Chain A
Amino acid sequence: MAAIVSLSEAISATVHDGDTLAMEGFTHLIPSAAAREVIRQRRRDLTLVRMTPDVIYDQMIGAGCARKLVFSWGGNPGVGSLHRFRDAVEHSWPRPLQIEEHSHAGMANRYVAGASGLPFAVLRGYNGTGLSDRAPSTRANIAEIVCPFTGERLAAVAALRPDVTVIHAQQADRAGNVQYWGITGVQKEAVLAAARSVVTVEEIVDKLEPRPGAVLLPAWAVGYVALAPGGAHPSYALGYSIRDNDFYVAWDAISRDRETFERWLNNHVYGGVAEA
């Protein structure tokens, strides 16, 4: 059954140096407070997995938490580049960052395979791209296969099995059942693919009310639940907050050089200020 604990307890119980850590949330319900907690606990040598390593992984990479990044689109959505990510790839600052990149469909299917207990998933894609023949770390996890029934040439992608997955949801009940709705992304698959999991929530309620299109994760499928109101900022939690578009724009300037980034880190993460 899910244990309901503080955010700092949940992260220290699940995220260890050297782990493969997936933090998911596709433009909505991004677990930002949990990402800052990982930085605050100074975790190192993580393999970070995320389809869209946006602002939160830019922060974790810049803070030196990551050894490797597995991803499919690394940008500041609607704004431009991720400067800390680029600095790590182009100049090894603050440390070298290995990368393994896929397409969104490839990553999504890798999580599906992990959640399904299968070693790989199959999709139509990758054939003819540089991802399948020019990117060595990517190539290690994709392979061309021939359909045994039709002879079609398809792509197999290796299952993703993170040591720990962290997501943000709108609600949990007091037993630790979790519910989230709106854009639901790939979080269900990421949680079910992982050995351990943490769900931060906007609110803990007595009873979960059914919502159209909601995903429900039963308490026994979740490791830890931690209350983190506003924990998706600068993304949003439908019904609780709106996307802080200004922050995404502001991040471009904050992250552009190392000094302003480190000042932000000291003021807003290590200083313990509980906001973005």
Chain B
Amino acid sequence: MNGYSADEIMTVTAARALRNGMTCFVGIDLPSAAANLARATHAPNLVLIYESGTIGAKPGSLPLSIGDAILAETADAVVSVPEIFNYWLQPGRIDVGFLGAAQIDKFANINTTVIGADYAEPKVRLPGAGGAPEIAACCREVIVIARQSRRKFVERVDFITSVGFGDGPGSREYLGLTGAGPQRVITDLGVLQPDPESCELVLTAVYPGVSSAEVGERTGWDLRVAADLREVAPPSQAELAVLRDLLATMPAGE
């Protein structure tokens, strides 16, 4: 309809948030596509770090898993799993970390553990924490990528796997979390960012053709809209061409 898909504008929006020379902790799927798109366009010196221990990976094709051989073969250094978390992530050496979410709440807390109020008898068992809690705690900032729905964007997550802003202002400091926490939530409708005072996620940008009312309808809390709501520039032909080339290289997966 617009000449690009929701996944494409999400990926392009995430890529634009990355600056040349940044260090970036990358997950698989959309974050990996976004980081590699940034590296192939405006941020050639972006340092890609995968939790498998590959630092400075320069894959020519998109990996299906965080442990694909191409990441190890093109990395500046390959370190052990204890080392990637203890020496590289924990001290705050990494500028930006990407996280996904099965649920996210208005204080940007993230659930990837269980759906349902009872941990012992979950409605849905999700994969669990992985590297996310420490990425959320220790990266200088976090970018969350999640498709927007009332079931996913909830008032309060069923389980806090990774802390965003906890109960609100002061929580991160109280808990001793060193990074700034989620600074952008990139969805298939636009971008939410934390209000500097209340820490509550606020709609700050929408994609072309999306109204703030539509975003509100797909949010499970009373979503506030920023006074200076922006419209995200659509993906350029150049961005789309590079992204599609990258995706065409990815091994078959879901």
Interface residues of A, Cβ cutoff 8 Å to B: 26-28, 51-52, 71-75, 77-82, 85-86, 89-90, 101-105, 108-109, 111-112, 123-131, 134-136, 152-154, 182-186, 188-189, 213, 215, 235-236, 238, 242-243, 245-246, 248-249, 252
Q: Which residue in B54, B78, B252 is a CB contact (below 8 Å) of A246?
A: B252
Known: A73-B130, A184-B80. A124 touches B253 (CB 8 A): no
The CB with the most chain A CB atoms within 10 A, among B52, B67, B138, is that of B67
Does chain A have a CB within 8 A of B30?
Answer: no
How many residues of chain B get a CB closer than 8 Å to chain A's CBs?
56
Q: Are B163 and A28 in contact (CB under 8 A)?
A: no
Q: Are B125 and A152 in contact (CB under 8 A)?
A: no
Does chain A have a CB within 8 A of B177?
Answer: yes
Q: Which residue in A128, A152, A182 is a CB contact (below 8 Å) of B69?
A: A182
Chain B contacts for A135, CB-based, 8 A: 113, 119
C-alpha gap A275/B175 in the complex (Å): 48
**What are 26 A-B pairs with beta-carbon distances under 8 A?**
A26-B52, A72-B130, A73-B127, A74-B128, A77-B28, A103-B131, A103-B133, A105-B85, A109-B82, A109-B85, A125-B138, A126-B133, A128-B160, A128-B175, A128-B177, A129-B160, A129-B161, A130-B159, A183-B53, A184-B53, A184-B80, A242-B69, A243-B67, A249-B253, A249-B254, A252-B254
Known: A103-B130, A153-B176. A130 touches B81 (CB 8 A): no
Known: A124-B90, A124-B176, A186-B82. A245 touches B160 (CB 8 A): no
Least CB distance, B126 to chain A, in whole angstroms: 8
Majority SS of interface residues in chain A?
loop
Majority SS of interface residues in chain B?
loop
Chain A contacts for B65, CB-based, 8 A: 27, 77-78, 243, 245, 248
Chain B contacts for A78, CB-based, 8 A: 28-29, 64-65, 253-254
Q: Are A236 and B69 in contact (CB under 8 A)?
A: yes
Known: A78-B253, A79-B253. A127 touches B134 (CB 8 A): no
Chain B contacts for A82, CB-based, 8 A: 127
C-alpha gap A129/B171 in the complex (Å): 12
Specify the chain A residue showing the minimal Cβ separation from B64. Answer: A78
Contact with A along B190-225 (1 / 0, CB 8 A): 000000000000000000000000000000000000
Chain B contacts for A79, CB-based, 8 A: 253-254
Q: Are A105 and B252 in contact (CB under 8 A)?
A: no
Chain A contacts for B119, CB-based, 8 A: 130, 134-135
Chain A contacts for B90, CB-based, 8 A: 105, 123-125
Chain A contacts for B37, CB-based, 8 A: none
Does chain A have a CB within 8 A of B162?
Answer: yes
Top 9 A-B pairs, shortest CB-CB distance? A27-B67, A75-B127, A73-B130, A105-B85, A78-B64, A245-B251, A128-B175, A128-B163, A127-B175
Q: Which residue in A128, A236, A252 is a CB contact (below 8 Å) of B171?
A: A128
Chain A contacts for B132, CB-based, 8 A: 103
Chain A contacts for B162, CB-based, 8 A: 129
Contact with A along B33-57 (1 / 0, CB 8 A): 0000000000000000001111000
Does chain A have a CB within 8 A of B66?
Answer: yes
Known: A28-B52, A246-B252. A186 touches B134 (CB 8 A): no
Chain A contacts for B124, CB-based, 8 A: 90
Chain A contacts for B185, CB-based, 8 A: none
Interface residues of B, Cβ cutoff 8 Å to A: 28-29, 51-54, 64-69, 71-73, 77-82, 85-86, 89-90, 113, 119-120, 122, 124-125, 127-134, 137-138, 159-163, 166, 171, 175-178, 251-254
Chain B contacts for A246, CB-based, 8 A: 252
Chain A contacts for B77, CB-based, 8 A: 213
Chain B contacts for A103, CB-based, 8 A: 129-134
Q: Are B53 and A26 in contact (CB under 8 A)?
A: yes
Least CB distance, A94 to chain B, in whole angstroms: 16
Q: Are A111 and B82 in contact (CB under 8 A)?
A: yes
Using A129-B162, A215-B80 as known contacts, list a sample of 14 further A-B pairs with CB atoms less than 8 Å apart, ordered by residue number in A.
Answer: A26-B81, A73-B131, A81-B127, A101-B128, A103-B130, A103-B132, A105-B134, A129-B133, A183-B53, A184-B79, A185-B80, A189-B80, A189-B82, A249-B253
Specify the chain A residue showing the minimal Cβ separation from B54. Answer: A183
Q: Are B129 and A101 in contact (CB under 8 A)?
A: yes
Chain A contacts for B254, CB-based, 8 A: 78-80, 249, 252
Chain A contacts for B71, CB-based, 8 A: 183
The CB with the most chain B CB atoms within 10 A, among A108, A183, A213, is that of A183
Chain B contacts for A124, CB-based, 8 A: 90, 134, 137-138, 176, 178
Known: A89-B125, A124-B138, A186-B80. A105 touches B133 (CB 8 A): yes
Chain B contacts for A112, CB-based, 8 A: 82, 86
